Amino acid sequence: MGELAAAAAAGRAETVVVDDDLSPRQLSTLEDACGRKVIDRNEVILDIFQANARTRQAKMQVELAQLQYELPRLARKWTHLERLGGGIGTRGPGESQIETDRRLLRLKIQSLKSDLAAIGARKEREIDSREGFFSACLVGYTNAGKSSLLNSLTRAGTLVEDRLFATLDTLTRRLACPNGLEVLLSDTVGFIRRLPHHLVASFHATLAEAARADLLILVIDAADPMCLVQAGAVDLTLREIGIGDLPRIHVLNKIDLPAATGRLEALERKLSPAFPASADTGRGLAELAAFLGSRAEAGRRRLRFRFPAGDGRRLALLNSLARVSERLYEGSEVIVTASIAPIDLERLKRLPGGMRWERAAPGPPSPGRG
């Protein structure tokens, strides 16, 4: 303790930062020994998240995580919180100020959880509405280049900055693949080693996008000498939130940088399947888009449908959901050959009116919608 206090004094430090998670008692002990403010790793990460939160949802998620972090530490750096005002329910007889403030914090936490649950429910409905499209989610260590990759593949125009946690909200865009199919591609918040559990819990609604994806794309900064350690941290976080077993591929990003050249071969062996790419130069992105199109195609069935030619609703839905390769009219019926996802076939079957279908012979790919 004496050495730490001496070092802080010699460096004229105003704040001591500890690269570990500290208990309230440990923080108090260190502050008493140093005579200075002490913050731990969790608090630094929360401050960075707060600085990057732009949308209402992101700000609420960060505020919830901060309040959950502060609650057990209230006695250490207690200040009077804003009063709700006089009257019934504000402060009971003999209740100390810190007890009042704890109660107000718990009420605020419950309110934020309720609001975020409502946002999460809306997010689930939004994701449900995309059923029938193949979806892939970009995950990875913070600053690995996920947003740059999304921009290069889809021209999304999302924020790209060379700093930690520049993205806190999920952004989903359509990717047109070479085989004519469309894939929904989502960007998510970056991970970091030992990401605070309460922060992961607060961002549950944001991470729901990854949980419902058909494929995870783990983006790795191939120019970073610690990239394998970072990939391991991402894998651990994915397992902690229950999606570690989802199908995944790896994108070795930033291969245009000299630092990536010497380790590409070893990374490809360790992280199969892996796609070397550069979001900045576009190198390798065509191969990645072609692979995503092939994965989207894999779950589809090529069928021949017969239904009344006047059933415009079914025809319109078929055109929007499937990749139509042929349409013929035979008497009062229309015959449509198309490649369609199983869930979209169920939607067609639920429409009123007669429809028959049978498996069609394989055919060459043709332009259409996914």
Residue 202: give its domain's CATH number. 3.40.50.300
Same structural domain, 97 and 221: no
Same structural domain, 148 and 245: yes
Same structural domain, 213 and 80: no
Residue 367 lies inside a defined structural domain of this protein: no
Per-residue pLDDT of 161-219, as tens digits, reads 444 444 445 678 889 888 877 888 988 777 766 666 666 665 655 666 778 888 999 99
Q: Closest Cα partner for 78 from 51, 60, 105, 111?
A: 105
Same structural domain, 140 and 288: yes
Same structural domain, 187 and 59: no
Residue 369 lies inside a defined structural domain of this protein: no
pLDDT reading at 330 higher than 80? yes
Same structural domain, 23 and 87: yes
Same structural domain, 179 and 286: yes
**Of the ranges 41-45, 73-77, 206-210, 353-357, the best mean pLDDT one:** 353-357
Residue 124 lies inside a defined structural domain of this protein: no
pTM passes above 0.85: no
Residue 365 lies inside a defined structural domain of this protein: no
Residue 126 lies inside a defined structural domain of this protein: no
Number of domains in the chain: 3
User: Given 66, 98, 119, which residue is the final one in a domain?
Assistant: 119
**Mean pLDDT across the chain, nearest whole number?**
80
- The range of the structural domain enclosing residue 332 comes to 300-359
User: How would you classify the pairing of strands 37-40 and 323-330?
Assistant: unpaired
CATH number at residue 338: 3.30.70.240
Same structural domain, 24 and 95: yes
Rounded to an integer, what distance in angstroms lies between the CA atom of residue 300 and that of residue 293? 11
Chain position carrying tokens 């059933």: 311
Same structural domain, 91 and 20: yes
**Residues with Cβ within 8 Å of residue 17, at least 6 apart in sequence:** 38, 39, 40, 44
Q: Return the structure tokens found at 240.
A: 């902690």
Helix runs in the chain, H state only: 2-10, 24-34, 41-52, 56-70, 97-128, 146-154, 197-202, 204-211, 227-240, 258-261, 264-270, 285-298, 312-321, 342-350
Amino acid identity of residue 188, one-letter, is T
Same structural domain, 257 and 310: no
